[in-house]
Amino acid sequence: MNQELKGQNKKYLLEKLTLEERRLDGRALFEKRKIIVEENIIQSCLDSIIVQAGKTKLIIALTFEFSEPYSNSPRMGSMTTNLDLSFFVPITDFSKKKDIQEKELELTRVIDRGIRHSNIVNFQELCVIPEQKCLNILFDVTCLSDDGGIIDLSIYAINKLILRINSEKIKKYIDLISFLPDEKEFLLNNYDKIFNKEIIFGSNTVAKVDSFLMLDPTSSEEADADCLLSVSTTNDMICSMQKFGVGGISEKEILTILNKILENK
Amino acid sequence: MNEGRSFRNPDALRKPIYLKLDVIPGTDGSAYFEIGHTKLFVSIHGPNVDRASPVGKINCVYSMAPYSSEERIKKKVNRRSQEISLKIKQVFENIILLEKYPNSLISISVYIISSDAGTRVAAITAISVALAHAGIRMNSLLPAISVGKYSGKILLDLDKFEDMLGEADMPLCYHPKKKEYLLLQFDGQMTIEEIEKSLRLARYGCIMIYVLQQYVLLKKFYEEMGDSSITPPIAKQLLEKSLREFIDAADSEEKSIIETIESIIKTQK
């Protein structure tokens, strides 16, 4: 988007916010987009879903693999989060490709940290044989269409996948994948210890546009924003935060955002 | 590695704290910074001509020496280092007056030689003074520090032990004139009240770092002018004056900051 057009968009947005306290898509400042969920679509995964909020659409897949533990955590398993945003970018558009790669990297790290610090994964329970074998949990997020809110939607979907794990899904999965006998046994006996399902875990992103704060911004609102703040929460605790974008954010704004997010949970 | 805070107050910076300019020959600006056992070099090249970019551009590479940590760093570039490079670049896009550098590229390199937590914030602190010394126009110096929670207590400037075994870690950088945070990352578990306390503590830590940055630049400026009159008492007066202009610290904080200024100035070689 060229600078002139971007400036016009921002002007319309600010007019609408000032006059009607509504956003360009008609939402109130702290109103989230409705999330639509499609059921299991990929057979080779333990579980997978397609989620959509507005025009943002993601596929999220959960798979397991066994590997050697890291040397600094020989009695723990591991977790890997991957995010692929390149699906909708033309291969020939190299300049855009670099921006996408940077965005992909930052979002992946934030999603990964959000999950990790929520304590929803019991890493100690992923150890099969100390120093020899552990379970690695893999969350793969593929973005089919990006209209903002990728972090929040990914975390929503990952949470959903975690809550849906049951013995039936595990049995089906181990029949399908060529796990070794001890690995199959481990999964059957331990699947319900891997995740802390009682933790209520979520993420919310707020955009700051001039003096306005907006929950769940679209990509056009993200582009108009001075900065964004993504916040992951568990029950009444904050478990990760990341500020995006070049602009700054004051202490008062940070605390307003945190209070609003916890109120709206 | 320090085991807990038995020798340091919750609001104290690690020691030694030492910042030096002009340490790498052949660069346009450079700095060495150590805070506790975290030690790093920063180099600045540019502004150099880059016809491809009509507005000024920044490039940043953050890397760690293989020997910088107890566990050998195997890959020079990994997801973590790429993310830190990106965050540093974004922070300085706000600070450098890029419109003054059309068709130009400013390259920032950070090399961590010893890692004891807080490397990204230490890098931002050092880059800021190295850029100023390279004559790059900016709207402010940028102090940065980390805060966190260890054993239920909110602490300033975590070391590796506190970072690894603690409940939360929050690296921040603070724009002293705009009173805004330009870097804000947080991992761990905290309540809103603890986050509020952490932000206050971070601001306090950033003020101290900011004073150090100003002192080091003033000292260098006087040295380059062939004037050695910037003795610690004079430097202290200058810094206190500039500090009061825009920091609305509480009285107790101000007293503590001034005491810290004295102690920091004494340790600069």
Environment class of B253 (CB within 10 Å of its CB; exposed 0-12, middle 13-18, buried 19+): middle
B79–A108 CB contact, under 8 Å? yes
Q: What is the pLDDT of residues B186-244, one digit of tens each?
A: 999 999 999 999 999 999 899 889 888 988 998 888 888 776 666 666 666 766 766 66
Question: Any idea what the Cα angle at residue B56 is, between residues B50 and B176, rounded to 5°?
Answer: 150
Cα(A45)–Cα(B50) distance, integer angstroms: 47
Cα(B31)–Cα(B256) distance, integer angstroms: 27
Residue of chain A nearest B86, judged by CA positions: A102
Tokens representing A136 are 């690695």
In sign, the C-alpha dihedral spanning B91, B92, B98, B102 is: negative
Contact A131, A69 (CB under 8 A): yes
Cα(B38)–Cα(B33) distance, integer angstroms: 8
B195–A102 CB contact, under 8 Å? no
DSSP percent split of chain A into helix, strand, coil, nearest 5: 40, 30, 30
A248–B188 CB contact, under 8 Å? no
pLDDT tens by residue, chain A, 265 residues: 556 666 777 887 888 888 888 898 899 999 999 999 988 778 788 999 999 999 898 989 999 999 999 988 899 999 999 998 876 655 555 566 778 888 889 999 999 999 999 999 999 999 999 999 999 999 999 888 889 999 999 999 999 999 999 999 999 999 988 899 999 999 999 999 999 999 989 999 999 998 899 999 999 899 999 999 999 999 889 999 999 998 999 999 999 999 999 887 6
Concatenated DSSP letters of A87-104: GGS-TT-HHHHHHHHHHH
Q: What is the pLDDT of residue A250?
A: 95
The residue whose two tokens read 């409940």 is B167
Cα(B155)–Cα(B152) distance, integer angstroms: 9
Amino acid identity for residue A193 in this structure: K
What residues does B146 pair with on adjacent strands? B171
Provide, as residue numbers in chain A, all residues whose Cβ is less than 8 Å from the Cβ of B184. 229, 241-243, 249, 254
Contact A57, A128 (CB under 8 A): no
**Residues contacting residue B193 through CB under 8 Å, at least 6 positions apart:** none
Q: What is the pLDDT of residue B230?
A: 63
Provide, as residue numbers in chain B, all residues whose Cβ is less than 8 Å from the Cβ of A106. 83, 86-87
- By residue count, chain A amounts to 265
Q: What is the pLDDT of residue B1?
A: 46
Residue of chain B nearest A82, judged by CA positions: B79
Peptide bond into A181 cis (omega under 30): no
Distance to chain B for A119, nearest Cα, Å: 9
From A248, A258, A259, residue closest to B180, measured CB to CB: A248
CB atoms within 10 A of CB A40: 15
From B79, B189, B200, residue closest to A117, measured CB to CB: B189
Q: What is the pLDDT of residue A78?
A: 94
From B83, B94, B178, residue closest to A106, measured CB to CB: B83
**Residues contacting residue A142 through CB under 8 Å, at least 6 positions apart:** A58, A59, A60, A61, A84, A87
CB hemisphere CA count around B179 (13 angstroms): 10
Provide, as residue numbers in chain A, all residues whose Cβ is less than 8 Å from the Cβ of B179. 250-251
Query: Which of B51-65, B162-176, B253-267 has the least mean pLDDT?
Result: B253-267
Cα(A189)–Cα(A179) distance, integer angstroms: 14
Among residues A64, A100, A96, the alpha carbon closest in space to that of A84 is found at: A100
Provide, as residue numbers in chain B, all residues whose Cβ is less than 8 Å from the Cβ of A225. none
What residues does B45 pair with on adjacent strands? B107
What residues does B156 pair with on adjacent strands? B147
A251–B93 CB contact, under 8 Å? no
Strands A133-145 and A227-234: unpaired
Q: What is the pLDDT of residues B193-203, one digit of tens each?
A: 999 999 999 99
Residue B31 belongs to what H/E stretch? strand B29-35
Cα(A107)–Cα(A224) distance, integer angstroms: 19
Among residues A77, A234, A227, the alpha carbon closest in space to that of B191 is found at: A234
**Residues contacting residue A182 through CB under 8 Å, at least 6 positions apart:** A128, A133
The residue whose two tokens read 């990297």 is A105
Give alpha helix (H) positions in chain A.
3-20, 94-118, 150-164, 167-176, 181-190, 219-224, 251-264
Burial B126-163 (b: 16+ CB within 10 A, else e): bbbbbbbbbebeeebbbbbbbbbbbeeebbbbbbbbbb
The residue whose two tokens read 């300033």 is B156
